[in-house]
Amino acid sequence: MRIYLVVIDDSPESKIALRFAARRAVKTGGGIEILTVLPPQEFIAFGGVQATIEDEARQQAEALLAGAAGTILDESGLRPSITVREGDGPKVIREIIAANPDIAALVLGAAASGAPGKLVSHFSGTDAGALPVPVMMIPGSLTPEAIDRLS
């Protein structure tokens, strides 16, 4: 099955990328894997405080993913896979793609204005030709109607 890997955070452009990927998956008989990457936490000398901070970050990420998965299920009927990983975003993405040969594309949302975002900059620059799958960069300025028309 063709899987679209979508990296989301709390930005509006990631929601647009997710909608695009879900619509493509429905039209191609594929699926969705939603990924959120937690940045590595800085070391704090007090272990209990460190654990609390990491736990709160993971809970927020899981809530974000659950909401996104619910939206996709409601809109398209797809039940996406959900992944939360900690680490360097580009490295985590490369590892996930390498581990799953069914991933057919990486779908990223680019900010509607200003800097496009760290992952978009990375995968359109430094690693532009290094991935074994296409990278789809979805403009954050697209309306839901435009996404529906284009996907």
Each residue of 25-54: pLDDT tens digit? 999 999 999 999 987 766 555 556 556 666
Q: Which pLDDT tens digit goes with each residue over 46-105?
A: 556 556 666 666 667 676 677 777 777 777 778 888 888 989 999 999 999 999 999 999
CATH 3.90.550.10 assigned to domain 1-148? The reply is: no
| Average confidence (pLDDT) over 126-134 | 86
Give the separation between CA 112 and CA 93, rounded to whole angstroms.
23
The overall pTM is greater than 0.85: no
Question: Which residues share a beta bridge with 136?
Answer: 107
